[in-house]
Chain A
Amino acid sequence: MSDATASEFEQLGASVSARRRFLRRFMRQRTALFALGFLVLLALGAVFAPWVAPYDPLAQNLDRVLEAPSLAHWFGTDELGRDVLSRTLFAARISLLAAFQAVLIALVIGVPPGLIAGLAGGRTDNLIMRLTDALMSFPPLILAVAIVAALGPSLTNAMIAVGILLSPTFLRLMRGTAMAVAQETYVEAARSIGCTQSWIIMRHILPNVVSPLFVQISVFAGVAMLAEAGLSFLGLGAQPPDSSWGAMVGRGFRYISHSPSLIVFPGLAIAVTVLAFYVLGDGLRDSLGREIRREE
């Protein structure tokens, strides 16, 4: 299509503020809204687990072990007779917190060097990118196991490992976006006005690189949750008595033939939540419109 048409179409949407336009577009994304609603509910359920959960997640009842779902125990009971629904709710806290930790670590590790690489260019860029390449050329699982082995098995250590593994993507995203934004005419205009370098970075570049970041954060929350589940399943993540969904699946695995519901419910929780993060990320990207699509 010709440029003239593109700009004609663009003009059709040009009379509302960016934020309102984003909101209006996002509101039209039914599935993304649904995903957001689910994640909010899940977060509320996790925060208020002590009030919402029907049982104490640690209360054992050895008379009623490995029961199938029933009216008293909607999700059944585990090998120690603990209520699986309550445990799933409490595990949501750990799983969500773990995902949050990993993404936060990835952001802290990835974003600043990404920005520096994108804005400094030249040798600095080269150095940072070669280090990133080196990091990415390790097999990820082995790297994670090595980090956990070095720091000791704990959920936080596992999430540090996941965060380190996710950071190169943030780094590359920030580098690319910062490079693109630095090429924009408004940055050149800021230089022509006489803005200092640090002013340009703070006022012109940072505000314009964050939107693609949000999309990636949402998607990576899902990825981190999946990674946490995998590590916890291997026993490298959440340690008893704490339990995450991945850990629940791991423990339940031993009783898979006798009582499959033990892994079905936490497994489903993982799948649905990860999916919700992905769908939300897609919805955010679509609502941000061309500002982001251009970067892809």
Chain B
Amino acid sequence: MAAPILEVEDLGVEFLTDHGWVRVVDGVSFSVGEGETLGLVGESGSGKTVTSLSVMQLIPVPPGRISGGSIRFAGRELVGMSEPQLEDIRGDDIAMVFQESMTSLNPAFTIGEQICEVVRRHRGCSRREARDRAVEVLELVQIPDPRSRLGAFPHEFSGGMRQRAAIAMALACDPKVLIADEPTTALDVTVQAQVLDLLRSLQQRFGMAILFVTHNLGVVADLCDRVAVMYAGRIVETATVFDLFESPQHPYTEGLLQAMPQLGERGKRLAAIPGTPPMPWQMPTGCRFHPRCPYAETACTEQDIPLRALAGDRHVRCRRVEELTLEGAQ
């Protein structure tokens, strides 16, 4: 693995809810190497989005708070950093792309103004230089006739074009890390294929690290180098993308892979993980997956299961990992 550019260690995030302070992200650790794509996979409520927002301290405070842990970018600690310092990093060294590009683009300003603003804020260059840079990045994301598109407002773009413009804005300052939170989920599949291709080629050219948050295992298989699977606020397994799909070590990962309808034969019943994920204020004791796990034993319910390191830079949070042989993707 390349030298880590982004390291998250023992991250805890809490939210104030009707049930008091509730920990939605609990002891999450991972790192992303230079030029690497890490997929952060989980279902809704797994804490994957909160984790990705916490990296840039973008969770709303209140009701949220980072209750512990450390987030380091190129060795610099981000937790507890002052807001002005964070603003220097946001959009410059670390950039974000969201699911709904309308949330990252301001409807009241043109695409050009918004990209120029980011460039000028971080580079302090002239208007003309910023404009040239904006044209350059729009060209990069394959927006046709970029110079004339500078004056367009976000709503004048189609969904796919908006997402590409949002990526262009994120790339404007050559970030070292790109955090992409479900960037293709709201897009049609043919447009999703374009955006994935684009991200792949941009990464090859510029070598930025990507933290790719998604629930879609197909997209993970397409784009990611390594994968971290989250369940109920915790990471349950990390592995390279090939290892994870071929020989999952955690029953939840197996369940997710088996649940992909593409892999089920027609007429046969689809594999489904029984039950639903727990609410963060009523986490099961022991392994949080045990109520839904087909391999659970009494011992799984008793105490917290640590994340264990396996050979080949893999980690898994299952106490039966040695005994079980789980099925991967066909």
A and B touching (Cβ–Cβ under 8 A): yes
Q: Which of B24, B47, B50, B100 contacts A3 (CB 8 A)?
A: B100
A interface bracket (residues with beta carbon within 8 Å of B): 10 to 19
A5 and B49 form a contact (CB under 8 A): yes
A24 and B18 form a contact (CB under 8 A): yes
Known: A2-B99, A2-B181. A15 touches B44 (CB 8 A): no
- Residue tally, chain B, CB below 8 Å to A: 25
For residue B17, which residue of chain A has the nearest CB? A12
A16 and B18 form a contact (CB under 8 A): yes
| B65 → A minimal CB distance (Å) | 14
Interface string of A2-15 (1 = CB under 8 A from B): 11110111011111
Q: Give the complex CA separation of A63 and B111 in angstroms.
A: 80
Q: Which of B17, B18, B98, B280 contacts A2 (CB 8 A)?
A: B98
Contact of B198 with A by CB under 8 A: no
B49 and A8 form a contact (CB under 8 A): yes
Q: Tell me which residues across on chain A come within 8 A of B47, comparing CB atoms.
A: 8
Q: Tell me which residues across on chain B come within 8 A of A24, comparing CB atoms.
A: 18
A15 and B24 form a contact (CB under 8 A): no
A8 and B45 form a contact (CB under 8 A): yes
| A281 → B minimal CB distance (Å) | 22
For residue B279, which residue of chain A has the nearest CB? A15
Query: Chain A binding site: helix, strand, loop or mixed by DSSP?
Result: helix
B49 and A2 form a contact (CB under 8 A): yes
Known: A4-B49, A5-B53, A25-B18. A11 touches B98 (CB 8 A): no
Contact of A71 with B by CB under 8 A: no
Q: Tell me which residues across on chain A come within 8 A of B269, comparing CB atoms.
A: none
Contact of B22 with A by CB under 8 A: yes
B1-32 interface with A by 8 A CB criterion: 15, 17-19, 22, 24
For residue B96, which residue of chain A has the nearest CB? A2
| B258 → A minimal CB distance (Å) | 24
Q: Which of A3, A8, A12 contacts B99 (CB 8 A)?
A: A3
Contact of A21 with B by CB under 8 A: yes
B100 and A8 form a contact (CB under 8 A): no
Q: Tell me which residues across on chain B come within 8 A of A16, comparing CB atoms.
A: 18
Q: Tell me which residues across on chain A come within 8 A of B49, comparing CB atoms.
A: 2, 4-5, 8
Q: Give the complex CA separation of A15 and B44 in angstroms.
A: 16
Contact of A1 with B by CB under 8 A: yes
Q: Give the complex CA separation of A4 and B42 in angstroms.
A: 12
Q: Give the complex CA separation of A167 and B13 in angstroms.
A: 47
Contact of B82 with A by CB under 8 A: no
Known: A2-B182, A8-B24. A13 touches B17 (CB 8 A): yes
Q: Give the complex CA separation of A24 and B49 in angstroms.
A: 28
Q: Tell me which residues across on chain A come within 8 A of B107, comparing CB atoms.
A: none
B50 and A2 form a contact (CB under 8 A): no
Interface string of B82-99 (1 = CB under 8 A from A): 000000000000000011
Q: Give the complex CA separation of A241 and B281 in angstroms.
A: 61
Known: A1-B103, A15-B279, A25-B18. A8 touches B181 (CB 8 A): no
| A55 → B minimal CB distance (Å) | 49
Most chain B CB within 10 A, of A2, A15, A16, A25, is at A2
Q: Give the complex CA separation of A16 and B58 in angstroms.
A: 28
Q: Give the complex CA separation of A180 and B266 in angstroms.
A: 41
Q: Give the complex CA separation of A14 and B19 in angstroms.
A: 11
For residue B63, which residue of chain A has the nearest CB? A9
A4 and B181 form a contact (CB under 8 A): yes
Known: A8-B24, A8-B50, A11-B279. A2 touches B45 (CB 8 A): no
Q: Give the complex CA separation of A12 and B98 in angstroms.
A: 22
Q: Give the complex CA separation of A16 and B280 in angstroms.
A: 14
Most chain B CB within 10 A, of A1, A13, A15, A24, is at A1
Q: Tell me which residues across on chain A come within 8 A of B264, comparing CB atoms.
A: none
Q: Give the complex CA separation of A294 and B281 in angstroms.
A: 26
Q: Tell me which residues across on chain A come within 8 A of B280, comparing CB atoms.
A: 12
Q: Give the complex CA separation of A2 and B98 in angstroms.
A: 6
Q: Tell me which residues across on chain A come within 8 A of B24, comparing CB atoms.
A: 8, 12
Q: Tell me which residues across on chain A come within 8 A of B100, comparing CB atoms.
A: 2-3
Contact of B60 with A by CB under 8 A: yes
For residue A16, which residue of chain B has the nearest CB? B18
Interface string of A212-236 (1 = CB under 8 A from B): 0000000000000000000000000
| B200 → A minimal CB distance (Å) | 22
Q: Give the complex CA separation of A4 and B41 in angstroms.
A: 13
B181 and A12 form a contact (CB under 8 A): no
| A277 → B minimal CB distance (Å) | 27
A18-69 interface with B by 8 A CB criterion: 21, 24-25
| A1 → B minimal CB distance (Å) | 7
Q: Which of A4, A12, A13, A15 contacts B182 (CB 8 A)?
A: A4
| B33 → A minimal CB distance (Å) | 25
Q: Give the complex CA separation of A3 and B185 in angstroms.
A: 11
Q: Tell me which residues across on chain A come within 8 A of B53, comparing CB atoms.
A: 1, 5
Q: Tell me which residues across on chain B come within 8 A of A2, comparing CB atoms.
A: 49, 98-100, 103, 181-182
Residues of B within 8 A of A (CB): 15, 17-19, 22, 24, 44-45, 47, 49-50, 53, 58, 60, 63, 98-100, 103, 181-182, 185, 279-281
- 18 A-B pairs, CB-CB below 8 angstroms? A1-B53, A2-B49, A3-B100, A4-B44, A5-B49, A5-B53, A8-B45, A8-B50, A9-B15, A9-B63, A11-B45, A12-B15, A12-B19, A12-B24, A12-B280, A12-B281, A13-B18, A14-B279
Residues of A within 8 A of B (CB): 1-5, 7-9, 11-16, 21, 24-25
Q: 3 closest A-B pairs (Cβ-Cβ)?
A: A12-B17, A2-B99, A4-B49
Further 20 A-B residue pairs, CB within 8 A, beyond A2-B181, A12-B24, A13-B17: A1-B60, A2-B98, A2-B182, A3-B100, A4-B99, A4-B185, A5-B50, A8-B24, A8-B47, A8-B49, A9-B63, A11-B44, A11-B45, A12-B17, A12-B18, A12-B19, A12-B279, A12-B280, A14-B279, A21-B18
